[in-house]
Chain A
Amino acid sequence: MTDSLAIALLLAGAGFFLAGTLGLLRFPDVYTRLHALTKADNLGLGLIVLGLMLRAESGAAAGKLLVIWLLVLTASAAASQLVASWARARRIRPWQG
């Protein structure tokens, strides 16, 4: 039961990574691409971390995985703000259809 739930979470996580990459390739400008990367990839990683937590050997190991996810979230939020600030400083106009 736990194993099948873990597998489902891992697959769903992989699906969101695919969506994030698809967005990176298909979205028209730097800002919209950042949307795809920050949201879809973070959710994908979250689901994968959740799936792995179900299979973790101890509570501390599960907590460590959670901390890894939070750190990646922080790093990705910082990176996306830096990229967006850089684009604004370069006066790159957002795509408007």
Chain B
Amino acid sequence: MILQLARLLGRFAVFWGVWWLLTDGRTDGLVFGAAFAAVAAAMPLVIVEPRGTDRPLALLPTVLRGLLLLPFFLWQSLYGGIDVAARAFKPRLPLTPTLFDYRLRLPPGPAPVMLASLVSLMPGTLAIVSGARLRVHVLDAGRDYQDELELLEAQVAWIFGVALQAPRTPAPTRWVSSGPETDA
């Protein structure tokens, strides 16, 4: 009950903050915004959670923890942008792409999607969620990405306040072609 109330207030704070930003910091609309933020914050009490969500997301702590890690993500994103821009500008187009699977330790829900999005901002990697795996496309097959992915996964777990589990799928990590494929 206390937890539910805390989460309700947390959501309210986030939504009211967004309202404040959207109205360019005007003070005369804040009461109006508070009413809408309150309704929006109460919504999850009425609406059923999507399937596969173990427990409701604590919005305010998630946003705050995300903001704490923002400098790291921005730095990686800067590095990733410079890396791919340099490749695009080089006349010889230095690309040795490959695909592999990364076995997720995150529970299903929003966290793996967040991880895939962040991986796509990191230098040389692009990811989609495929069941209990992350399908990762990389620009430089000669590099090892395992450690980076594990670190990133642990950070996402911390942001969402979830525990990492043992991978839910068996081994092979290098991607193997299955069935007929067409060239791009």
Contacts and interface: CB of A to CB of B under 8 A. Distances in A.
Contacts of B69: none
Nearest to A81: B128
Contacts of A67: 18, 21-22
A59 to B, nearest CB: 7
B181 interface: yes
B21 A43 contact: no
Interface of B: 18, 20-26, 74, 77-78, 80-85, 87-89, 93, 95-99, 113, 116-117, 120-121, 123-124, 126-130, 135, 137, 139, 177, 179-184
Interface in A30-84: 30-32, 34-36, 38-40, 42-44, 46, 58-61, 63-64, 67, 73-74, 77-78, 80-81, 84
Contact of B81 (A39, A92, A93, A95): A39
Contacts of B80: 39, 43
Interface size class of A (residues with CB under 8 A): 35 or more
Nearest to B87: A23
Given A39-B121, A43-B77, A92 B129 contact: no
Considering the complex of A and B, which 6 residue pairs feature the smallest CB-CB distances, nearest first? Answer: A60-B25, A43-B81, A19-B85, A29-B184, A77-B117, A23-B88
A35 B124 contact: yes
Contact of B137 (A42, A46, A74, A84): A84
A31 B183 contact: no
Nearest to B84: A39
Contacts of A46: 74, 77
B126 A34 contact: yes
A9 B107 CA distance: 39
B137 A94 contact: yes
